[in-house]
Amino acid sequence: MTPARLILAALALIVSLVVARAEVTATDILGRQVTLPAPAHRIVLGEARHLSVLGLIHDDPVSLVAGWRLDKPLDPPTLAAYRQKFPAIDAIKPVGSGTRGLSVEAVIGLDPDLVVLSLIDGKNPEMALVQKQLDAAGIPVAYVDFFSHPQENSIPSLTILGKLTGAEAKAAEFAEFYDSRLERIRARLADPAIKRPRVFFHVHAAPTGCCSTVGSGVFRDFVETAGGTNIGSEVVQGVLGNVSLEYLIGADPDIYIATGGTHMAARGGLVLGSDVDHAIAQASFDKLIAAPGFASLRAVETGRAAGVWHMFNDTPVHIALIEYLAKTFHPDLFADVDPDATLAEIDRRFSPVQVPGTWWVTP
């Protein structure tokens, strides 16, 4: 081999090694291996509100997002906070909405290096064709889950995003933060002699149309991890179901927890969340527990009732809610735990924007 060819061969080897080192690989939440030639920087999000999840591991998540499906959007105050700090957010292109609304043509037109979809998408037959079309176009897809099984999948999903976007260290830092708090709760509740209160979890709570509750899934998991027993699991098959007010009164729970958000204002229900003033949240909760039937609950009469923000159910920030529930269920065991301080630390250490609001209320 001539010297010139030796040099060319050596250069080719160096180039191949550099390319190999630049590649990033992660196994997504469905067990699929996803390999990118370099960390992703033109992402299409299947859920717009996952921008906030990216924000836990990137100082400027907006710069990484080329498009998003307008399904499960950022709430208006959070969107406004991002817009104020990152005006480029208005350049993110919509690629459809709804479970069947992802436009493959719009996605391909953005020339993304990664599409991030949810576990719900991965199990939706309607999305199978979308996956095939994206595969055919050579666009990598990674599935994550912060909603269906949040305790099981949130940190693995954040780790996946960290690997695929070059933010492994920041993802590991958040994982350590999350795991240390979760382990503290589990360690203190490890004694089987600890009595677990019977909890009724009233989702999308309003004084009328009682009562939607959970049988399995997200909030049931939070209740049980926090040291409670979810009584809805005794009567509801599946994730969500309805019970009558008469059932609730007869069940006589030790603790009553209601969830709400700004979406409940139109129904006269529990209003909590981003940019909600505490006085407004308190008034909506007081109205709820003063309604006929609710007011006679032993849990309400003894002050063992609370309202919490419903949208903790699709973000790793739910660790603060688990702390709040643990402190509500077992105030002596968790007297030193401060979920408000946990939220403040997340804002300080991880989130690029801070959005004020009211996340929980008590009588």
The predicted-structure confidence for 277-333, as pLDDT tens digits, reads as follows: 999 999 999 999 999 999 999 999 999 999 999 999 889 999 999 999 999 999 999
Q: What is the pLDDT of residue 237?
A: 84
Query: Which residues neighbour 289 within 8 Å (Cβ) at sequence distance 6 or greater?
Result: 256, 295, 297, 300, 305, 363
**pLDDT at site 98:** 63
Percent of the chain residues past pLDDT 90, beyond the cut: 82
Task: Enumerate the β-bridge partners of residue 116.
Answer: 45, 142
Q: Which long-range contacts (CB under 8 A, 24 or more apart) does 340-345 make?
A: 342/181, 343/317, 345/177
The mean pLDDT value of the chain amounts to 92
For residue 10, the model assigns a pLDDT of: 44
What does the alpha-carbon distance between residue 137 and residue 96 come to, in Å, rounded to a whole number?
A: 18
Single out the residue of 323, 316, 314, 315 nearest to residue 341, CA to CA.
323
Query: What predicted TM-score, i.e. pTM, was given to this entire model?
Result: 0.90
Question: Which amino acid, residue 314?
Answer: D
Over residues 129-138, the mean pLDDT reads 94
Share of the chain above pLDDT 70, in %: 93
**Minimum mean pLDDT among 3-12, 285-294, 338-347, 348-357: which range?**
3-12
Pick from 4-13, 113-122, 176-185, 239-248: least confident: 4-13
pLDDT of the residue at 229: 97
What is the Cα–Cα distance from 136 to 5, expressed in whole angstroms? 37
| Domains recognised in the chain with CATH numbers | 12-184 (3.40.50.1980), 195-361 (3.40.50.1980)
Inter-residue contact 96 to 70 (CB < 8 Å):
yes
